[in-house]
Amino acid sequence: MKLTVEQVRHVATLARLSLSSEEEERYATQLSAILDAVAQLQELDVSGVEPTSHATLASSLLREDVTRPSLPPEKALANAPAKVGTSFAVPKILE
């Protein structure tokens, strides 16, 4: 699909880009090549291909998300220089 310079200008306007005339010509060629590649991919017959959520078909490499007991507030705040109730006290940075 051959893009015109006017179409490139329109896309540049939508993206709030300021392009020189050289850039408009270069991007018209480059974007046209990308659209041609996508058109080739759309011609492939993928009717027998199972949909996947990831290209490698690997199972999750992360551990199970299991709840565990957390650190008690007294132990977490044992070495805190300042605390307010069960929270760390920090200096105010905004006024």
Say whether 84 sits in a helix, a strand or coil: strand
Nearest to 75 by CA among 86, 67, 66, 64: 86
**CB within 8 Å of 16: residues ≥ 6 apart:** none
pLDDT by residue for the chain (95 residues), tens digit each? 899 999 999 999 999 999 999 999 999 999 999 999 999 999 999 898 887 776 666 666 788 889 999 999 999 999 999 999 989 999 888 87
Domain that holds residue 9: 5-42
Task: Please report the pLDDT score of residue 50 as a whole number.
Answer: 82
Q: Residue 32 is part of a domain; what is its CATH number?
A: 1.10.20.60
| Number of folded domains that form the chain | 1
Is residue 20 one of the residues assigned to a domain? yes
Task: Please report the pLDDT score of residue 63 as a whole number.
Answer: 80
pTM of the model: 0.50
Is residue 81 one of the residues assigned to a domain? no
Is residue 23 one of the residues assigned to a domain? yes
